Amino acid sequence: MVQIPKPPAPESLAPRSVPTSADVARLAGVSRATVSYVLNNTSAVRISEPTRRRVHQAARELGYVPHAAARSLRAGHSRTVLMPAPSFPVGPLYSRFIGELQWALGRLDYTVVQYGTVGRHDDEAARCWAELRPVAVLVPGSGLGPRGVDVLKRSGARAVVTLGPEAVEGAHALLMDHETVGHAAARHLYDRGRRRIGVVVPAENGLELFSAPRLTGARRAVRDTDATVTELPLAYEERGAARLAARWGSLGLDAVFAYNDEYAMLLMRALQDEGLGIPGDAAVIGADDLMLGRLLRPRLSTVHLEMPSGRDLAALVDRAVHDPGAAPERHTVLGAAVVHRESS
Amino acid sequence: MVQIPKPPAPESLAPRSVPTSADVARLAGVSRATVSYVLNNTSAVRISEPTRRRVHQAARELGYVPHAAARSLRAGHSRTVLMPAPSFPVGPLYSRFIGELQWALGRLDYTVVQYGTVGRHDDEAARCWAELRPVAVLVPGSGLGPRGVDVLKRSGARAVVTLGPEAVEGAHALLMDHETVGHAAARHLYDRGRRRIGVVVPAENGLELFSAPRLTGARRAVRDTDATVTELPLAYEERGAARLAARWGSLGLDAVFAYNDEYAMLLMRALQDEGLGIPGDAAVIGADDLMLGRLLRPRLSTVHLEMPSGRDLAALVDRAVHDPGAAPERHTVLGAAVVHRESS
């Protein structure tokens, strides 16, 4: 292991000879105000092309870049959109959505910053985020309450948008309704003639936010029918799946909604290793419509999720920043459609 | 689609009635300096417990949080470690590494900020990053050159650390040697008696950073032997894999290193659908040691990658921040070990 030396006195931490806008002004032979106008692209003041060029060249020569923090202090606000890094394991679907969102916000001239606040919750997390003085905060998952929203707004955030299964007072909400995912899956199994439906609930931390509403949705789908829903806790590892498969017969189930495609692959393999036929002995459906489902034999049925468009969400953030007094918007953004293949 | 209203005049963008440290000082009946000492936990000045409590209570009541940017302007440096979001598709292995790194840097009191600079390269990207005045910058992948390092250092970054296949002048480097991955895979196939080895090269953008050295390593492994290496371009989609499998016989190959486990699953399925036996007609090995490889039949052989420890990397960052004049460190941090299962 590497040795961490004792930190030196704080004075020595200050960067040495960092070029300032005054240096640029001196080299270009203009005022500091002119440097600021040119480098911040202010349109309010007309500056001749040769002067502009001189300032840019001096900045390049000295290696000067404007200081975002100083600029936002002067302006009284920043263009920073803060996104706390999600506390749950992120799948490829979500990654793609985040990438699209960052691109769309970048086009509207916002700077998206992702920030991990490991192990902090609600108020405490909100205070950490507030220290960065973001103009907007986009919170995926849960973990932010009305008090956290208040802290953020009081520190100058003009928009707080949550992205998850529940709305929070004072914040805009993109509601991801995971009940519809479970509902669609169980309904499909019911329509295929199955009556004793298992629903996998991952044992991993952070996923109950998605698994609980999926289970609720599945129960709702077969309410007032002759079908039953059985909760099946399962960790993402082979041994637990083998144990579950070994007692499959005693459970009396004829179908399973396996939470998502990855858990479906895990459980389907364990069932097949036990000699059970898919879908004969057990119909299996996953969710997320990942590539791997198409590569399984039998091919995996799945629930395809339609994520919100990053462009729409970026537009909502921008709208909210320009009108912070507007009533919170609520949008339900998660679509769910069954893709029927061979496993169900 | 949502309508974006015309932005209002800039004045109205300033947050209204954001509480300041002066408000806190007034409510607590102390000086602004005292507020600053208490809320920034300065140990240089002794302040009585009752005063401390009064300041904290006033801050809570008003919803005041310190301004990180103002603090870093005063201090002349920040505790922000900037990590540009990687431009390549991120797998579960890499995600776990990043999570561990953020946790370790958090324990050393750094704030890790991830920042996407979509479509910008080298100098231009470095200037964007420099605007945030990070105390350290951690750059995964490539895309930063010596000039970018210079821009960052001139704007006050005390440490620049790259994380990828190549070292950059002026920056510390954690070298991820992907040649060893390809070398280990091809060596394994050779040792299993295979002589005509295909190496999958993904067609997806951003992956050549990893695939090119893996191919080079495979070639190196069989240099001066009677074995050959054939490059197999492949996109991550079923049709291309089926086409490659259909002409397998004409390629005259008896083994394949499939870039990683996901491409291995794709190609193995296509070969099996063509009626080819694994490993009889084609030995297959992946990389990354993902769970899915263990769920395939036959079970997938793979190259297990040992990522650097997030804790070691955090310690390197901290060391570099405290001694920015030290010569750049170079560490090779990627271990590769073959996990032999049934497919090879």
B67 touches chain A (CB under 8 A): yes
Per-residue pLDDT band at A308 (split at 50, 70, 90): confident
A73 touches chain B (CB under 8 A): yes
Neighbouring CB atoms inside 10 A of A252's CB total: 10
CB contact under 8 Å between B85 and A114, yes or no, is yes
Helix-helix angle B238-246:B261-273, to 10 degrees: 50
Neighbouring CB atoms inside 10 A of A44's CB total: 6
The minimum CA-CA distance between A248 and chain B, rounded to whole Å, is 19
Average pLDDT rounded to a whole number, residues A47-54: 90
Contact in structure between B146 and B169 (CB atoms under 8 Å): yes
A61-94 burial string, b = 16+ CB within 10 Å, else e? ebbbbbbbbbbbbeeebbbbbbbbbbbbbbbebb
Domains of chain B: 20-66 (1.10.260.40), 80-176+308-333 (3.40.50.2300), 179-306 (3.40.50.2300)
CB contact under 8 Å between A18 and B316, yes or no, is no
Mark which residues 1-20 of A lie under 8 Å from B by CB. Answer: 1-2, 4-5, 7-8, 10, 13-15, 18-19
Query: Cα A197 to chain center, whole Å?
Result: 30
Task: Return the pLDDT at B230.
Answer: 98
Task: Return the pLDDT at A102.
Answer: 81
Q: Mapped to the 3 state alphabet, what secondary structure does A50-112 carry? A: HHHHHHHHHHHHHCCCCCHHHHHHHHCCCCEEEEECCCCCCCHHHHHHHHHHHHHHHHCCCEE
* Best mutation target, B73, B87, B113, to test chain A (most A CBs within 10 A): B113
Average pLDDT rounded to a whole number, residues A42-51: 79
Strand A111-115 relative to strand B111-115, pairing:
antiparallel
* Best mutation target, B65, B312, B319, B329, to test chain A (most A CBs within 10 A): B65
Residues of A whose CB is below 8 A from B132? 68-69
Roughly how many angstroms between the first and final C-alpha of chain A, as a whole number? 52
Out of B73, B95, B294, the one facing A70 most closely (by C-beta) is B73
Out of B73, B294, B316, the one facing A238 most closely (by C-beta) is B294
Least Cα distance to A337 among A304, A308, A300 occurs for A304
Roughly how many angstroms between the first and final C-alpha of chain B, as a whole number? 52
Which ipTM score applies to this complex? 0.75
Task: Return the pLDDT at A103.
Answer: 83
Average pLDDT rounded to a whole number, residues A290-309: 92
CB contact under 8 Å between A131 and B68, yes or no, is yes
Task: Return the pLDDT at A13.
Answer: 41
Output the average pLDDT for chain A. Answer: 85
Out of A14, A132, A297, the one facing B77 most closely (by C-beta) is A14
Contact in structure between B152 and B130 (CB atoms under 8 Å): yes
Task: Return the pLDDT at A6.
Answer: 38
The residue among A260 and A19 whose pLDDT is bigger is: A260
Intervals of chain B under pLDDT 50 = 1-16
Task: Return the pLDDT at B293.
Answer: 96
The 10s digit of each residue's pLDDT in A192-225 is 999 999 999 999 887 888 899 999 999 999 999 9
Task: Return the pLDDT at B11.
Answer: 39
Lowest-confidence segment of A114-128, A299-313, A324-338 by average pLDDT: A114-128
DSSP code of residue A314: H
The 10s digit of each residue's pLDDT in A278-290 is 999 999 999 999 9
Task: Return the pLDDT at A296.
Answer: 97
The 10s digit of each residue's pLDDT in B102-157 is 888 888 888 888 776 555 566 777 877 787 788 999 887 767 888 889 888 888 88
Task: Return the pLDDT at B120.
Answer: 56
Say whether pLDDT at A15 is over 60: no
CB–CB contacts below 8 A, A to B: 193
Per-residue pLDDT band at A65 (split at 50, 70, 90): confident
Nearest CA in chain B to A109: B117
Contacts of A6 (CB under 8 A, 6+ apart): none
The 10s digit of each residue's pLDDT in A246-270 is 999 999 999 999 999 999 999 999 9
Lowest-confidence segment of A162-176, A232-246, B292-306 by average pLDDT: A162-176
